[in-house]
Structure 1
Amino acid sequence: MPTLFAISLFAMSSAYAISNKLNFYNVEVNRTSNDPLYMNNTIEENIHFHTLDYNNLSSIELYTNFVPFLLNISMKLLENVHENIKNNYELNIEDIKVIEAASGSNKLEYQSMLRENLNKMNRIKYTSPEVLLLDLTDFSNYLLQTLIENRLHKTSDNLLQPSKWYKNLLKYSILRQQMKIIINVIEVNICYKFSICVQKSDYKEYLIEWLRHLFNADNVKLRSFFHAISNLLYKNTFGIKTNAKFRQKIGNIWKSDSYYQRNLVDFLDETLSEYDVLKVVNDELRNYVILLKELFKVIDDNYQLNDSNERKLGHISKHFFLWIDNKNIQIKPVIKDVADNMRENVRIWPIDAQNKLDNIWTKIITLE
């Protein structure tokens, strides 16, 4: 049976979905602020806010912990997005200068607007701390999106062209991708710092998280990811029905430039996360989108998110994040864990589900 990464990469080689609400709620997670995922940078500016009063909940704890946390991580993400836009989209020198000029006052703008909103929130009575954290985080994400839009506002007509696979304009593809990075990073860090986590309801949602970590990889890391996949598939097919053409395509992905590789990640992310992706995908990729959606429906219908699998997938998610965050993690064993876990699970599925998965995969690898 095929592994998910192999499926995805093959489909992609042949060729503005931003959630406004982070639907957090409590789950049992044993994570603390000492966890290496937590971005424990301190902001240079002294920001003063009125202490929030939301009924009898711990406003002092929120004030001393969550607000500085949100400021710290948002400042880091603004810098991160700035570097991503400059380095990952083949922009010309003139556009990079425009983006540089627009980014100068972003930190102060963000802090000023967040302060104003916090003071307004002081007059609202909240029934739970989670609701207040959600409102504050949503507003922060809105501010970050606005600042990124401003950076791209005066760029040249080069950003008004469609991307290589996507009918929408490159400017909006950049915004969409960078906001996915921001929301993903903030969700993960809030989960590890405050144990307020997004519960994943199916396997696909884990894969989407991993893909959004890949969005945030620099060109060297992105290339090393595809090299590791190519190397693993060359040595071990993990039961994949394959042929020489398939193996050649996997190798070609590794040899491609990082801009092409990033487009592949974007294509798969949109296929999995955007219901109406067929409206914006280029015509030659429509059949791949249809078959991939069918394939992942079979996977989500049969993959059991039991305690054992959730622990394994959570471990993989953590190591993806640590790898992107320049911790001492090798990506090849992480990818192998993904493949091994899927193989072990498919083996115990009902025979008709295994056959259906195999039939869809066969259609995918025979598409031209």
Structure 2
Amino acid sequence: MKPTVAPFPTARLRRTRASAALRNLVRENNLTVDDLIWPVFVREGENVSEPIASMPGVYRQSIDNVVKSAKDAQALGIPVICLFPYTDPSLKTEDCAEAWNPNNLTNRAIIAIKEAAPDIAVMTDVALDPYNINGHDGFVENGEIINDRTVEALVKMTLAQAHAGADIIGPSDMMDGRISAMRTGLESEGFQNVAILSYSAKYASGFYGPFRDAVGASGALKGDKKTYQMDPGNTDEALRLVERDLMEGADMVMIKPGLAYLDICHRIKQTFGSPTFAYQVSGEYAMIKAAGQNGWVDEEKVMLESLLAFKRAGCDGILSYFAPAVAKILNG
């Protein structure tokens, strides 16, 4: 599109910026509460709300407190809450069997949330790293992350979460072929309405550090994840991955991290037109919080501006730890 602009002074582009009413009238992109997914961390215990040092304002919560958070989110109009487990180290094994235990921490949290806050959708994480003694998203054999055996385990994990009542499955593992296998498994067990929001373009990023602290994976990880997460220098590869996941049955796709990859968000939305999401990851959150706490930036303004940037890039929604704070502002 080539804009048509009359010569000055016939055209004064400042005219539509002259008042709040005019600015609101011509604004091209808007952030709403409906755009938000709130990631939360769940741990064992009762009445536990444990602060995460590298993520100020974020907590590991026992299921009872996660339920309270879900009810608060529902009251604020946040449509989705996403669960990430802090697994007891004693349950982390090489076979990762706790991942598909119907009574594991995530599945018990799903059941409790659906009972207490039925109007909020529950999204889950599907990857083996919270349960893997090696800290990887897949099984490790002779130093290699094994793809096909991992996919079989991820399907079992997916079905356990669906049986618990999950509304959205969020595979973040980046194994090849897992979306097709998950969709086939869900269909075969009658879960036709369970959606898949695939982490289709997940980069091997330095922005994940605080998250790994939050789920207790920092010390467990041996090596890196570069053989299955994307190279930060690639963009065309992201399109191939998204196209594959959509063809295999993903309902929505995710780009992770967010702000450093807005070009990827834009290309994917422009190319496919499918529901496109981004994850404002822990490192992005921590940088804004730290700068705000030090008085280097206006935290509220930067928080809102950063989320609006996702909408401007074409995203339909954002996973953000800022979700409840943003919702309160947007609700007035």
* TM over 0.5, shorter chain: no
User: Of Structure 1 and Structure 2, which has the larger fraction of its residues in strand?
Assistant: 2
User: Could you tell me the TM-score, scaled by structure 2's length?
Assistant: 0.26
User: Could you tell me the TM-score, scaled by structure 1's length?
Assistant: 0.24
User: Of Structure 1 and Structure 2, which has the larger fraction of its residues in helix?
Assistant: 1
